[in-house]
Amino acid sequence: MQPDKSFNPGIQTRAIHHGKSYADNTGTVMPPIFPSSTFTHGNPEGFDYTRSGNPNFRILEDVLASLEECKYSTVFASGVSAITAIASSLQSGDLILCEENLYGCTVRLFEQVFSKFKLQTKWIDFSNTNSLALIDGLNPSMIWLESPTNPLLKIIDIKRICDKASENQIPVVVDNTFSTALLQKPLDLGATLSLTSTTKYINGHSDALGGAVCTQDVYWKDRMDFAQKALGLQPSPFDCWLITRGIKTLPLRLSKQVDNALALANELGKHPSVEWVRYPFKLDHPQYELAKKQMASGGAIITIRLKADQKRTYTFCKNLRYFNMAESLGGVESLICHPATMTHASLSTETKKKLGIDESLVRLSVGCEDFADLEKDLNQQLSQLL
């Protein structure tokens, strides 16, 4: 049943109860999967060909817009497809002013693909106060942010940058994958576009790829829908169905993951094999106050620096029982990643150094397992480093 807006349903209710199932006369409780590539001309819902729309896309777009509390959402085949859709809306010669610590594949896409079409990028530290002056000075066509950043969990003051950008009518994109709309709402902070890789927390089960762009602006919704069909960036109906199903437990999953992460972040710092722990809602985070203001909770990613060289750091990662050494994040299962040789391997030594990514750094994506088991697993292997 469609949630009654006047009832003002909460987030968990909205995650479970969708709008239309597009199969009204069947009594189906779960929406069906519509694998059809094509639709009969003149059907009442206006579907024609799946590259430009499908019932499973619309069901997912509706629930994502409801979580984000915004008007529009467009779904894509992956987070990278969503990034491609936004970048493709710009013109040759346009400048994107980027946070210097963006997701690695965003950097690769801008520097190795869109640069060939003369899309220009400039990389700056948006946590630095003089970044506001650079917005005036450079007058970019777009600003691209990510907060918290990966893997060092730097927090960027989204509202302050959006306020400045809006003076010059510069659209701001926020990659919100690490937080999701449950922990941080970029559009409420003034962003034009809120981008998410639904592969991560939104789906939550590491079994589908997807991306989405949310906006309040019909102009941008039209551009995203155009990019979906014109560039062939559409997802598969089956993946949309899986992600829609995953969302039903998103609030539950995330709340358990955040509880586990906060408790682990506070615990890990006490171990003598740990040099430091970085977590947005940990008191010693350099931007703790801003994190508290901007986010509903600190999320479920923790970055730690071990007192160990690369070989021993690797052994630590490999010997954990419940933290699988793998890229990606946000699933119900805990993962550990060595950014210097995995997610950030393609960066130059110099860039890694500048960003603070070294051989002793590990990133934890905390899952939904029992806290005691995760704690015991980490403590056992940390003690092996002594």
Ligand X SMILES: *Cc1c(COP(=O)(O)O)cnc(C)c1O
Interface residues with ligand X (CB under 6 A) are 78-80, 103, 105, 146, 150, 175, 177-178, 197, 199-200, 209, 211
Tokens in use for 265? 């972040």
Tokens in use for 155? 């927090």
Task: Give least dist CB 113 to ligand X, A.
Answer: 14
CB-wise, 78 or 192, nearer to ligand X?
78
Task: Give least dist CB 374 to ligand X, A.
Answer: 21
CB-wise, 194 or 273, nearer to ligand X?
194
Tokens in use for 262? 């906060």
Residue 340, CB half-sphere, CA atoms under 13 Å: how many?
Answer: 19
Q: Is 103 a catalytic residue?
A: yes
Task: Give least dist CB 200 to ligand X, A.
Answer: 6
Which of the following is catalytic: 14, 58, 103, 225? 103
Distance, in Å, from the CA atom of 366 to the CA atom of 372, rounded to the nearest integer, reads: 13
Beta-bridge partners for 348: none
Residue 264: left (phi > 0), alpha (psi -120 to 50), or beta?
alpha
- H-helix or E-strand spanning residue 237: helix 237-247
Total residue count of the chain as it appears in this document: 386
Which of the following is catalytic: 164, 200, 278, 305? 200
Q: Is 248 a catalytic residue?
A: no
Residue 356: left (phi > 0), alpha (psi -120 to 50), or beta?
left
Which of the following is catalytic: 22, 51, 229, 322? 51
Task: Give least dist CB 349 to ligand X, A.
Answer: 23
Task: Give least dist CB 83 to ligand X, A.
Answer: 7
Instruction: With beta carbons less than 8 A apart as the criterion, state whether 77 and 233 touch.
Output: yes
Task: Find the residue with minimal CB distance to ligand X.
Answer: 79
Q: Is 49 a catalytic residue?
A: no
Cα–Cα separations (whole angstroms), residue 373 to 101, 126, 334, 349: 33, 38, 11, 36
Q: Is 51 a catalytic residue?
A: yes
CB-wise, 184 or 381, nearer to ligand X?
184
CB-wise, 84 or 131, nearer to ligand X?
84
CB-wise, 150 or 215, nearer to ligand X?
150
Catalytic positions, written as ranges? 51, 103, 175, 200
